[in-house]
Amino acid sequence: MNSEESAASIFMFTERKPAPPPRSAFVEFFRSKILCRKDDPEEERKALLKKEGGYRITYTGLSEHRRKYVADIYITLIDLEWRYAIAVLFNVFLVTYLVFAFFWWLMAYNNDDFANLDNPDHVPCLLGVKSFAGAVLFSIETQTTIGYGYAYPNAHCAGTLPLIYLQVTLGFFLETVLLGFIFVKIARPKYRANTIIFSKNAVVCQENGQLCLQIRVGDLRKTHLVDAHLTAIMVRKKTTEEGAVYPLFQYEVEMEANGMGDRIFLLWPLIITHKIDENSPFWDIKPADLCSEKYELLIFLEGTVEATGEVCQARTSYGPKEILWGHRFERVEEYDLGMKRWHIDFTGFNDVVYCQNLRHSAKDLSQYAGSTQKLDTTGISKRKSSERPSPNPLSLNSGVRYDMTNLNGAQNMVESSSGAALLSNEDETST
């Protein structure tokens, strides 16, 4: 196996596997109803990040580092899934009730309380406790300070006061820790990210003569994030001149929101733009590379929650097939004359419109623009004034967009003006 094959074997994106044979209806019913399992659509994406922001990375070989999780037990409890957190809450309290119930039962047993239940001259350590079930009930009453008034301890027994002190003190400590981590788990700022939405697809279009990659981000709440900023990373394989392979190499992708740089004010949904220039990792990528190129665009949006002051992070990712070339986002902002205020329609948040036919990378467009400019300056490509130039798919004119689709010999020229596309058709007859 050569170096390229070995690198491909460890690369994060695996080749598409053949479709498995269809399962029977009974098997599908058993999986969906009885086992409560459903097919995960994220398995088809083969991405590092889920669309809603969860990581799809598995760690192995951590058996020798398990003590580090115990040393940071509080964060470990907070990071537990909800079903395990609830199980820890109930089981810890149950174990403490049973352990102290055994101690109370043992103290009564050593005092012969159960053997002298009908002896009026016997002084029991636990009055009203006649079995282990009664000891469990007494333990719950003591730790929770309920006190129904039927069962109570006798202070004349030597172990009564130390055992009550120990159980009450430990019970307060456990309530503080367990209920505290449940509250912190509920109030974590990560849940604020559920109301931060990203567009389903990213788009690549031409603006002011330059290719741009765009995404849309919006906030569903009216209490917006404070000091929000966005970071984008492109993950792609890189091979050095010496042959070293980095399958998960991170490239910086500079994004800007209008003219504010990476700072974002989500008063309304914003279109975040990345200009594809010679410093961009998308410089040499074209639409035809969707099947061959393997990369992933990771988006991180961070901001401070206005209500709590905690930092929140929202994440998403886009694969090659989730980037639409030659499209732009439809407007969602409209001014309502009746209400005299701007109206945002989130139903069209993911809507895109076709604007131009892009088949080349920004690098190819730049090379063609340079060669055309050189030919024009030397006089080689001068045309007569009576001749009309034919449309060119690589033109960088910001006001004109060309569509190379030929329908019955007609060439469609698309002009963009004030956000609207005006389509004019010219039919050329062959001589």
Tell me which of 52 and 329 has the higher pLDDT: 329
Residue 406 pLDDT greater than 50, yes or no: no
* Per-residue model confidence (pLDDT) at position 127: 86
Percentage of the chain lying above the pLDDT 90 cut: 31
Rounded CA-CA distance 126/100 in Å is 13
* Per-residue model confidence (pLDDT) at position 373: 58
167-221 pLDDT, tens digit per residue, is: 999 999 999 988 888 888 888 888 888 899 999 999 999 888 889 999 999 999 8
Residue 90 pLDDT greater than 90, yes or no: yes
pTM (2 decimals)?
A: 0.67
144-177 pLDDT, tens digit per residue, is: 888 777 888 888 888 889 999 999 999 999 999 8
In sequence order, the β-bridge partners of residue 411 are 406, 426
**HEC sequence for the chain:** CCHHHHHHHHCCCCCCCCCCCCCCHHHHHHHHHHCCCCCCCHHHHCCCECCCCCECCCCCCCHHHHHHHHHCHHHHHHCCCHHHHHHHHHHHHHHHHHHHHHHHHHHHHHCCCCCCCCCCCCCCCEECCCCHHHHHHHHHHHHHCCCCCCCEECCCCCCHHHHHHHHHHHHHHHHHHHHHHHHHHHCCHHHHHHHEEECCCEEEEEECCEEEEEEEEEECCCCCCEEEEEEEEEEEEEECCCCCEEEEEEEEECCEECCCCCEECCCCCEEEEEECCCCCCCCCCCHHHCCCCCEEEEEEEEEECCCCCCEEEEEEEECHHHEEECEEECCCEEEECCCCEEEECHHHCCCEEECCCCCCCHHHHHHHHHHHHHHHHHCCCCCCCCCCCCCCCCCCCCCEEEEEEEECCEEEEEEEECCEEEEEEEECCCC
* Per-residue model confidence (pLDDT) at position 8: 43
